[in-house]
Structure 1
Amino acid sequence: MTQLDIVRQHVATLETALTRYVEGNGIRFAYRLLGPATGTPLVLLQHFSGNIDAWDPAVVNALAADRPVIAFDNAGVGRSTGQTPDNIETMARDAVAFINLLGLPEVDLLGFSLGGCVAQQIAADHGRLVRKLILVGTAPKGGEEHLLAVLQQAFSQTDAPDPRLPLFFTKSSASQSSGLAFLKRTKLRKDDRDTDNGKAVTDPQAKALITWCATPDPEHAILRAIRQPALVVSGSHDTMLPASNAYAMFKELSNAQLVLYPDSGHGALFQHHEIFVSHVRTFLQAQSAAA
């Protein structure tokens, strides 16, 4: 990495960062790199149907103020090539391949929704690769989900400016106002925006998420295989992956903290972005006997 690259990292934001590419295993991964050149990188694992530009700049930029942050498109998503898998295990394998292609010996993971399922699989399978993980608005294997019903309801609300408004936020005026502000932030990048690959992504992703939650794991094998410190986060009124999932994960993980945000839905991290970033920073910076 040249000195110019390092300078660009320091000044780049999610809205301005160069979209980079790395290729291996038959996949050309698209990603953006923010933050300083030193420190344990925080790799972001995105939600169902989302790409790099679906992340909230208020979250990503703030997290990148004091650590390297990497937002990327997994196989078949956005500008990454390959085929989107229909199962969590292969999504996790592809994400690990991406991390290895970047030559990163150790990372922290932030997995949101579907990305949280992928993060669990990676942490369980690759204990030395993952230092800490943040699981947001997600579910354990065998957990509770209402994806299709909630999606149908959201897309039936034709008066909503974006389906994410009813999907990610509650009906309260405060939550809806936060939702509109979030949508505005996600549109700040005007040039070199990521691409939406439609049903080629959403169909297999929906199958992967539904199958993950429909597959019983009575012994909680994946959660009990995760020894890393974990921060589990949920909104109080998440209709897609209810907060009961967060409590279930918290109970079974060996070293977890649980945070629930009030009057918030699936997008609690975007609605309460300032306190969420504060919680994540505190968690990542804290010393832990299990870290």
Structure 2
Amino acid sequence: MSRNVIGKHAPINGINLYYEIHGTGTPFIMLHGGMGSFTMLNAISSDLIENYQIIGVDLYGHGRTPLTDRPIRIEDMADDIAGLIEYLGFPKADMLGYSLGADVAIQTAIRHRERVNKLVVISTAFKRSAWYPEIQQGMSSMAPEQFIGTPMYEEYQKVAPRPEDFARFVASMTQALSQDYDWTDLIPTITAPTLIIAGDSDSFPPSHAAEFFRLLGGGQKDAGWNGENLIPSQLAILPHATHYNIVFQPALLLPIITSFLS
């Protein structure tokens, strides 16, 4: 995707939320993973602009959206996204989120059901305890020096309004990711048809993605000869896919996503 597009900032909930729009058609909001920015999703967003109006967002504190004194909280970021949909004049939008962005998308669908048409959730868990123990430990012990030289650090230094805020950003993210959560009772309240995508070698067991699907009403009975018992939501477990490479596999992801959206 060309990076010649000039992004804008929307005044939402006391922050200046960065977004950029590509293409025309049905509005489709895309939310990146933690420590990244919208560019993290380039591998899949570039092919989707032919049929959708892609609204790429830099989540609060990430990328081009400045970090303020507001803590980083999933629920607050979900309110930001709902606010952006209203700001742009859309009654509702399709939404895709990866990792942290998927958490934000889930909470948007829970807290602002009227704003979400279809939901694509890539590589996240609906409760903290589902992540493998080493992942939980890593979330709670992040330090700025761990990121020096990584693409995430380089991107932040390149695009952040205040690159010198990186240490404060990591501290805020560590605090956010250290909080326990369990949305088991909230997942069934999601009304948007939802596509759950996970890797068979993700940072949580495939059984957790199957449980997510079950909470949405799937995997409980035979679909029937004519598919009469199919539910609107779907589940895809991608082969040889990890938490880290899953969004860089457009040949696997795009047919599943476009089929679901259409």
**How high is the TM-score relative to the length of structure 2?**
0.79
Following superposition, the deviation at residue 67 of structure 1 comes to 0.4
Question: 2:14 matched to 1:26?
Answer: yes
Partner residue of 2:135?
A: 147
How far apart are the structure 2 equivalents of 1:194 and 1:205?
18
Whether the 8 Å contact between 2:119 and 2:194 is mirrored in structure 1 is yes
Partner residue of 2:159?
A: 194
How far apart are the structure 2 equivalents of 1:47 and 1:62?
19
Q: Taking structure 1 as reference, are residues 269 and 47 closer, same or farther at Cα in structure 2, changes over 3 Å only?
A: same
Following superposition, the deviation at residue 121 of structure 1 comes to 1.0
Task: Give SS of 1:246's match.
Answer: helix
Partner residue of 2:72?
A: 86
Matches within 5 A, 1:163-242: 194-195=159-160, 197-211=165-179, 214-217=180-183, 220-239=184-203, 241-242=204-205
Task: Give SS of 1:111's match.
Answer: strand
Q: Taking structure 1 as reference, are residues 162 and 25 closer, same or farther at Cα in structure 2, changes over 3 Å only?
A: closer
Q: What per-residue deviation string (whole Å, max 9, x for no partner) do you get for residues 164-220 of structure 1?
A: 8xxxxxxxxxxxxxxxxxxxxx98xxxx95326523333333333342xx3345xx2
Indicate which of 119, 141, 144 corresponds to 1:133. Answer: 119
Question: 2:247 matched to 1:259?
Answer: no
Of 128-137 and 79-88, the range deviating more from structure 2: 79-88
Q: Which runs of 5+ in 1 are unaligned?
A: 1-12, 165-185, 286-291
Matched to 2:6, the amino acid is L
How many percent identity over aligned positions? Answer: 26
Partner residue of 1:100?
A: 86
Following superposition, the deviation at residue 246 of structure 1 comes to 1.6
Matched to 1:272, the amino acid is Q
**CA-atom RMSD, angstroms?**
3.1
Partner residue of 2:222?
A: none
Following superposition, the deviation at residue 232 of structure 1 comes to 0.5
Partner residue of 2:256?
A: 279
Task: Give SS of 2:60's match.
Answer: coil
Task: Give SS of 1:221's match.
Answer: coil
Larger strand proportion of the pair: 2
Following superposition, the deviation at residue 265 of structure 1 comes to 0.7
**How high is the TM-score relative to the length of structure 1?**
0.71
Q: Taking structure 1 as reference, are residues 227 and 198 closer, same or farther at Cα in structure 2, changes over 3 Å only?
A: same
Aligned residues: 239
